[in-house]
Structure 1
Amino acid sequence: MNSFIPVLRICSSLLPELIRLSGSIVTFNLPIETSSKECQNVMGYYPGEGQSTETIALVSHYDFLGDDPGGHRFEGAGDNAAGVATILEVSRQIASLPHKLPFNLLTVFTTGEESDLWGEKHLISNPPFPLSKTIYLDGLGRTPYFSLNVSYHWEDKNIINSLMSISRDMGVSIKVNESKAKGLFNFLITGTSTVKFRPYHTPDDTYELTHVNVLQEVTNLLVELLNVIK
């Protein structure tokens, strides 16, 4: 059975009073209601050249927190509308190419990420096709930079070399780890974190604070990478 820890969001206006009461016992009433709703992953498929059995998945989650009981809207621009928008643009550019890719491309927008990765778990246990490689985008555009964390199997070193070359030309830092899982090539593209300001899971995660140039840079990187993978 899964266990969940309640998370309490405190308005900044309450912080001075809570600091003043430091050392005192503060009691909160947290009525917890549990319910379940049906939700879906959304997928698109672009077949590769010939009868390719290789499938690469571009994955991003589209769910967020919505509105709280007080009417505050959590827009989720960086977490994770930015990832969804980037994959849509990559898909549009790939579909407009005059040639097909030598592999199938699966775009997946998962649900339930904020509720314990339900969409991702379902994708892993019930893939529509055997997935050769996955590329996951999350939290883009919140800072003027982005980072890549790559796990790969030694058989995929040619792809890693291409990725590192493209990243170097773009001035992007990349962290590479060899995976022990045979045949795996996974990497996460994410916004770099900052200690001073992390608006994720707050109403401040809005489009106005999104660095759109970062989304374009990630789009360019992915389109170029997908074009050099053999």
Structure 2
Amino acid sequence: MSGWLGPDEWQALALSLKVATWATLAALPLGLFVAHALARWEFPGKQVLNGLVHLPLVLPPVVTGYLLLLTFNPTAPVGGALQAVGISFAFRWTGAALAAGVMGFPLMVRAMRLSIEAVDPKLEQAAATLGASRVWVFLTVTLPLILPGVLAGVILGFAKAMGEFGATITFVSNIPGQTQTLPSAIYAFLQVPGGEGAALRLVLISVAVAMGALLASELLARRLAKRVGGA
């Protein structure tokens, strides 16, 4: 692939993989916790939390990116506090990962929540009556049953992170080698004469990643349905 892609294209692909991987790994624990809370718990503000989780799906990505910039730029209270301990997001690849994680988070949570809701609560209650703690019930009963749904959520979150553009370019700009991911590189190549070939190659890679993620997610969803239906 390195012979087919130029140095700038390869750099954008490598950075996209890095950003999407870290975005997905960082969002996974929180996504699983939120999905379980929305599926199993009743608490004040549950609908507000559900709305906030899905807000990036309905907001223009540029708005999400601008809100991240307002929150995490070094002159903001949150951004300044993080900067003081050596954590920086604005105009860095870490910021691209944060933006990608935020945009992919709703898809990840939704897939996991649906898989948790498909599990019969009586199975969890039976384990609890035997003296198992909530954490142990989740690890030994719930998690094995929802694993296909978790994997589907991870795949969808990763694919969304790979394709994120609006929030990323607003938050961290389009700096080659630092924040220029696949979508940003495609945009940049289309702005210069003769860049159509490079843009097309990156488009084909993006389509392949997206289609692969959707097919994998569908296969895992079917596997989950068969498992639950046969239980």
TM-score normalised according to structure 1 size:
0.26
More strand by share: 1
More helix by share: 2
Q: Which has the higher contact order (CA 8 A, sep 6+)?
A: 2
